[in-house]
Structure 1
């Protein structure tokens, strides 16, 4: 049995999506700036079913409605951009349309990449989904391309795969890490956990220094070659299933019920 879509007043819906205050939205509606299925809406208090297809049916000032809550973005984070408001420098939120920064619920990053790491970053306003992806028990794999200061010795992959490497200041060894050597000073690694600065710290524990770090995969979702630094795209249901397969998502939902 399908659930009925939730409804919201038109002015609250658009205000929650960052289009302006409720008073500003009321003025926009009076001016004929909002249409649904090609028909101008006249009542800002009209309740609107919030369905996934609304972005294709409603227009605001002649442009398609921004996606309603449940939005998931894939961003190619450039170097020098931060994910935390506590760090100095340009923020990842600055790559998005200005009104998206006023959305309620707010968009948040799914985990973080540090300032000197580039690559695939997810953002969402779905708190439940965010926690399912980052939950340690789900072990969603993440792949990184690593550039190193010094040539590899040759035994690093074996050490990382053993699951015995200890990081400085910790008392629990890392989970096994999959590593593939690409060149004498570069490799790919796949992590199944997300400790603080893990890639940099584990290569430091192996006597090397990371000079370049780029994440190109989360789960089974790859960063497209066509998505350049600073660009973003909205994830489809198919894309999202690559990050957190439906079976795992369903099991996590059941466990938390």
Structure 2
């Protein structure tokens, strides 16, 4: 890895800022001052900046309990973003694995591993997502078959893929989907003449939201959880 990139990734600096640090003779490799941005950092080398060691951090995998009224974006001029709740190194390199709407809560995955993220979000993978929905109108048995058959959504050329609607009571249900269309669950209920008043994602793939996480809290995924995808 180039030295300027190494400094950037271990400190959160931009590449331009890292280059300025190098030019100021503040970085050493194995005790020798190095100023060349393009220099390749040898494996196992000890890199120091102002006598502080710089170490590459491995990929980050987080589970968050997304709260209401925040958006899945790194920056937003109108709303609070989910990253204001996250306190980890190199936060600017993280991204959300898919998105949850401003007014949707629940399981959200965050990472800096693009390949891992793609395995979850790619339509080809048909990754399961389970949502708990609270609706305004009573649910009926016919709704189950409508979800299973696929629904025509406004502005879409083809119907949704078959989905499982699991009615919990008159105005609550679990929705199992394998797609990730824009506002899909809300639009599916709208297609049967109902309105979602509250929506909470409980599961992605075989990974379920940690019950110990309060809204706004997150934790690092275990190696076993990362390997689920």
TM-score range, shorter chain: 0.7 to 0.9
2:168 match: 182
Deviations 1:13-39 (A, max 9, x none): 353133555466999988xxxxxxxxx
Query: How many aligned positions are there?
Result: 214
**Equivalent residues of 2:99, 2:108 under 8 A apart:** yes
| 1:101 CA displacement | 2.9
Q: Structure 1 residue aligned with 2:66, among 77, 86, 104?
A: 77
Q: For residue 144 of structure 1, give the secondary structure of its aligned residue in structure 2.
A: strand
**Equivalent residues of 1:177, 1:192 under 8 A apart:** yes
| 1:237 CA displacement | 2.7
Q: For residue 131 of structure 2, give the secondary structure of its aligned residue in structure 1.
A: strand
2:9 match: 16
Q: For residue 123 of structure 1, give the secondary structure of its aligned residue in structure 2.
A: strand
Q: 1:28 to 1:114 in 2, by over 3 A?
A: farther
Structure 2: tracts of 5 or more residues without a match: 35-39, 45-50
2:91 match: 101
Structure of greater relative contact order (alpha carbons < 8 Å, 6+ residues apart): 2
Q: Structure 2 residue aligned with 1:205, among 191, 200, 210?
A: 191
Deviations 1:74-126 (A, max 9, x none): 11111111013457210111112275334xxx211111001000111111212
Deviations 1:46-83 (A, max 9, x none): 94648xxxxxxxxxx99xx7832x22211111111101
Distance 1:139 1:121 in 2: 17
Structure 1: tracts of 5 or more residues without a match: 1-6, 31-40, 51-60, 245-257
1:159 match: 146
Distance 2:65 2:220 in 1: 12
**Equivalent residues of 2:9, 2:56 under 8 A apart:** no
Distance 2:83 2:206 in 1: 25
2:224 match: 238
TM-score, with structure 1 as normaliser: 0.71
1:38 match: none
* C-alpha RMSD of matched pairs (Å): 3.2
TM-score, with structure 2 as normaliser: 0.79
**Equivalent residues of 1:82, 1:113 under 8 A apart:** yes
